Each structure stands twice: as C-alpha cells, then as structure tokens.
Amino acid sequence: MALEGPVPGRHKIVLENRRILLIVSGGIAAVKVPDLIRRLRERGAAVRCVLTESGAQFVTPMSLAALSGDKVFQDLFSLTDESEMGHINLSREADIVLVAPATANIMAKMAYGMADDLATTALLATDKPVMIAPSMNVMMWEHAATQANLATLLDRGIHIVGPGAGDMACGEVGNGRMAEVADIVAALDGFFKSRREHGPLSGQSALVTSGPTHEPIDPVRYIANRSSGKQGHAIAAALADLGAKVTLVSGPTQEPDPAGVTVTAVETAEQMLTACTAAKPFDIAVCAAAVADWRVADSTTSKIKKTGDTPPALSLTENPDILATLAKAGKDRPHLVIGFAAETENVIDNGSAKRNAKNCDWIVANDVSAGFGGDSNTVHLITEDGADSWPTLSKQAVAERLATHIADHINKS
C-alpha cells in the first residue's frame, strides 16, 4: 500500500516534533527508506540516520541527508562525528530508535549485545524505545536462530512491525518482506499514541509555564530576559508523552507548540498569572518560565521620545509571584508544585532558600553562569530530601528525567 501524500489529523499530531533515529542496515528493502523518511517528515517528525556499511550498498548517504535534512552518521571512529555528536548522545537524543530494514545480522548482534560498528553501539547505548522492521529471506526468517533472537529481543521490550509475506527480491515467496512504509508510519503513530493513553501520568493534569515575560515600557520597548522557552516547552512535551493532560502557558518564544498540549500565549507576568489561575484545577505545576521580577509602574501608551541627554526615569513595581501563588496552601493547591531557580553562584544554597521561601515542593536549580537560553542545562533537583545534582544534559534530556521523577513521585503518593 502506497502513501500518496500527507495524512491530516492524528498522524500529524502524534508524530509532529518526534525525534526518530533511523538505523539503516544492509538489505534490498533499504531502497524503501527514502520514501519512509519523506513520509515521516511530512508528518512533522525529525529524522536522523545512521547508515551501516552494508546499508550503504543500497542507499547513499547523500540521498538520506537530502531527505532527512540532517547529517548522516556512519563511522564509529570518526573524530569529527564524535566531537559533534558522540554515539552516546546520538542514541539518547531521539524519542525512538527505528531499525529499518532490520536484517538477520543486526538482529543477532542486538540479541547478543555486540557493538562492533556505530549502529550496534548506538543500539547498545540507548535508553530509548527501539522498534525493528525485519527484512530477510523467508528461510532466514524462519530459521531457529533468528526466531530465538527475535524472542530475546521481544522479551527485552523491543517493538516490531512486520515482516509481511509476499514476493522477495531473491525470487522466493513467504514471510520476511519488510513492512510497507505506511505500516511502519502507522506503527510509530500507534506507539506514541499508546504511550500517551497508557503512560504513568495518564489521568493526571499538569500546568507548565515557559519562556520569558515582556513587561512594556511603552508601545515599542519592554523589560525582558534571555529565556528561550526551550526547557519549559520540552517539559510540557515530556509530561504529555507520559500521559498527562498538559496546559502550557508561555511567554513570547520562537519554540513550536508541543504536540498534544494546550497552549496559552501571554506576554506579561500578570497575564501569565491570570492564565494559570484560569487553568485550575491541575495536579502538577511546573513553573519553568523566567518571569520578570519587576514591571514599569507607569508604562505609557505612546513612545517615549529622547529629549536631551537625560534618560527618562523608570519607576518599577513588583510583579506577582506566580510560583508562590500556586504553592500557597489551599484546597486547589496542586499535589506537586515545582519551581525553577536560575542562579549564577551558590546554586544549591540559593535554590534551597527559594524552595523554602516559595513553599513549593521541588526546585530545579539551574546554573546559568555559562549562559542563558542554550540547548543544554546543568541542574540540581532540590527536594525535602536534599539536592540531586545531574550532569550537564540537553534540555530534552532534563525534561525527560524530570518527567520520570514526577511520575515516580505521583505514583508513590
């Protein structure tokens, strides 16, 4: 069955912004991979490819790079590739690892934990879900060794799509034909849909704030900060992936709206507080937004003109404290309230002090001494039990780790 074009509706919603690491091993079915990449990207997914040495006999790195819009990785011992995107990060920055086609050889290596090239090393190093689309001769598929390897992989939680039955390149007929592109897309769609419907946070509602706030001085100027919104948006997506019903209240940002999340756009701190209050009740609150502490008390409706050498005096007034407001005791207080503390020094001590002052349950203390708004964070999760210091991680990885901690806490409560 061929796909004629983009499929509207749930496929796009579920696969939009998903990060797929596609491992292409050596088999004639690899010629279907360019079409698979095209269909995934039509649905908004980001695809990054690892091409094995044998896979390169059937498709070229240039064709995969052109279709995916990303670099194709091949060599485990490439100094350039390892410095730009080490095999550990390569294997963990995706939402799912897809092996298509999955030959008998790579399935055997996966079953036995071999890591003799980039593809198998990435598979052994990943902590993300893995899906395989087997493709091989019918006799190879039915061989006891392959079936034993398959049983091992399934027992480890590997997901499988196909194989189908039909004519093969070798001239034989039977099982072993790689699933059609439409079936692989549907399997990925079904995986993410199921994870949201049956995840550890299904039945829970969450509020996430993200981005900066813009506090107007006049119609053309404002007070703001360097927050990009990347961390807050990633947290909203991670909570939704675990099944939570998520409302994201975001200040001005260039980040795309996470799939499956209700988004309310605001500009000022007062607007953000109003939106958060309107979203009640919710079970979890994560205040990741970098809310301006102050606003101009007497902002004007007309542009302030430069007159002489004396700058205008700005009178500032304190903005509402959204985190403290949400954490305030009461019948509608969320079960878990988490704040962020952007610090440049004494990160843990200052984060702990903020946790106590705001009456929130957890603080994610973020060391921003190296810069604000980048793609990675160095954080410390501060709870009543103390501080858990995490290594420097991508913001997606921070979000996923935090979401997992939240799910564990909620399910133990």
Q: Domain locations in the chain?
A: 10-197, 200-412
Q: Letter for the amino acid at 227?
A: S
Buried b / exposed e along 136-172 (16+ C-beta atoms within 10 A)? bbbebbeeeebeebbeebeeeebbbbbbeeeebeeee
End-to-end alpha carbon distance in the chain: 48
Higher pLDDT, 86 or 367: 367
- Tally the residues of the chain: 413
pLDDT for residue 313: 84
Looking at residues 367-390, what average pLDDT do you find? Answer: 86
**Which of 170, 276, 287, 360 does the annotation list as catalytic?**
170
The model's pLDDT over 3-25, given as tens digits with 9 standing for 90+, comes to: 333 344 444 557 888 899 999 99
Q: Letter for the amino acid at 282?
A: F
Mean pLDDT taken over the chain: 90
Question: Is the pLDDT confidence value at 30 over 60?
Answer: yes
Contacts 24+ apart (CB under 8 A), 326-329: 326/207, 326/276, 326/285, 326/287, 326/360, 327/285, 327/358, 327/359, 327/360, 327/361, 328/359, 329/359
**Per-residue DSSP letter, 290:** B
Higher pLDDT, 333 or 15: 333
The model's pLDDT over 108-121, given as tens digits with 9 standing for 90+, comes to: 999 999 999 999 99
In sequence order, the β-bridge partners of residue 391 are none
d(Cα 208, Cα 263) in Å, to the nearest integer? 10
Q: Letter for the amino acid at 70?
A: D
pLDDT for residue 312: 82
Q: Fold identical between 10-197 and 200-412?
A: yes
The model's pLDDT over 293-317, given as tens digits with 9 standing for 90+, comes to: 999 998 888 888 888 778 888 899 9
pLDDT for residue 170: 58
Note the pTM of the prediction, 2 decimals: 0.75
Alpha helices per DSSP H over 359-394: none
pLDDT band of residue 324 (cuts 50, 70, 90) is very high
- The highest-level CATH class for domain 10-197 is alpha beta
CATH architecture for the domain at 200-412? 3-Layer(aba) Sandwich (3.40)
Looking at residues 129-139, what average pLDDT do you find? Answer: 95
**CA distances (Å), 191 to each of 96, 98, 164, 197, in order?**
10, 12, 19, 10
The model's pLDDT over 73-83, given as tens digits with 9 standing for 90+, comes to: 998 887 666 66
Closest CA to 208 of 161, 242, 253, 245: 245
The model's pLDDT over 280-289, given as tens digits with 9 standing for 90+, comes to: 999 999 999 9
- Strand 245-250 vs strand 262-265: parallel, antiparallel, or unpaired? parallel
d(Cα 155, Cα 396) in Å, to the nearest integer? 28
Looking at residues 18-45, what average pLDDT do you find? Answer: 95
170 catalytic? Reply is yes
